[in-house]
């Protein structure tokens, strides 16, 4: 069991965006959709042991659970449509609503990164920061249920790094990759270790 947490710094907080302009009007939602693809897809199958958490502007968390998710397809547009549905569900809910299952296997809640990290203490995930300055992934010891935290196309903010203080910091290679490529590399490393 492992997880990925992707911090979307410009991602939409409301469903009022068009699926025809994910990089622009939807605040680089294309980046987050590719991250979900990299986290959850095998060829013609899903990684049922993986969870992915999209943290939108440190205010909303969309959780995609590999074990339960349905209707998730590999392409960006249909994935963004599921996120849009999640934001619609949240918009209709009272402010103090708990996590809502907007479509099978996708939950949405008003939750910050510190709130998510707090919840990990109960669910058992151990945060691992993925950042170009970290120790090499291939050489690193990993916790039992790592939750790899990545930033979208922008750098981590100081308050995010503060929330993650104490977490191990790993790097996948000598060059700086898009978040979705890092996720593909991490999944491959875990697959190879599991053999």
Q: Which residues bind a copy of itself (CB under 8 A)?
A: 19-20, 22-23, 30-31, 34, 37-38, 41-45, 73-78, 138, 153, 172-178, 180-181, 184-185, 187-188, 191-192, 194-195
Return the number of the residue (118 or 191) whose C-beta is nearest a copy of itself: 191
Identify which of residues 41 and 125 has a Cβ nearer to a copy of itself in the complex. Answer: 41
Q: Measured from the CB atom, is 15 or 178 closer to a copy of itself?
A: 178
Residue 187, both tokens: 């999944």
Residue 152 Cβ, how far from a copy of itself at the closest point, in Å? Answer: 10
Phi, psi of 98 (to 5 degrees): -80, -175
Q: At 119, which helix (H) or strand (E)?
A: helix 113-123
Provide the minimum distance between the beta carbon of 187 and a copy of itself in the complex, in angstroms, as a whole number: 7
Spatial distance between the Cα atoms of 5 and 166, rounded to a whole number of angstroms: 16
The closest alpha carbon to 167, from 121, 109, 122, belongs to 121
Q: Of 23 and 124, which has the nearer Cβ to a copy of itself?
A: 23
> Measured from the CB of residue 134, what is the shortest distance to a copy of itself in angstroms?
14
- Is the CB of residue 55 less than 8 Å from the CB of residue 6? yes
Please name every residue paired with 162 in a beta bridge, in sequence order, or none if there are none: none
Task: Say if CB 10 and CB 57 are below 8 A apart.
Answer: yes
First and final C-alpha spacing in the chain? 15
For the bound state, the minimum distance from the C-beta of residue 175 to a copy of itself, rounded and expressed in Å, comes to 5
**CB of 87 or CB of 182, closer to a copy of itself:** 182
Cβ at position 115, least distance to a copy of itself in Å:
27
């Amino acid at each position: 069991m492992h997880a990925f947490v992707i911090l979307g710094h410009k991602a939409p907080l409301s469903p009022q965006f068009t699926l025809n302009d994910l990089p622009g009007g939807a605040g680089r939602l294309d980046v987050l959709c590719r991250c979900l693809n990299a986290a959850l897809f095998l060829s013609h199958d899903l990684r049922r042991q993986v969870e992915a958490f999209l943290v939108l502007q440190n205010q909303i968390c969309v959780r995609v659970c590999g074990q339960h998710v349905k209707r998730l397809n590999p392409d960006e547009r249909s994935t963004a449509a599921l996120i849009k549905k999640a934001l619609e569900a949240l918009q209709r809910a009272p402010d103090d609503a708990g996590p809502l299952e907007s479509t099978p296997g996708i939950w949405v809640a008003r939750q910050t990164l510190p709130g998510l990290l707090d919840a990990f203490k109960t669910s058992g995930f151990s945060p691992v920061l993925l950042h170009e300055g970290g120790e090499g992934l291939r050489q690193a010891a990993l916790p039992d249920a790592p939750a790899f935290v990545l930033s979208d196309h922008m750098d981590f903010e100081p308050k995010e790094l503060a929330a993650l203080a104490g977490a191990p910091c790993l790097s996948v290679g000598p060059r700086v990759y898009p978040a979705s490529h890092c996720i593909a590399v991490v999944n491959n490393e875990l697959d190879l270790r599991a053999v």
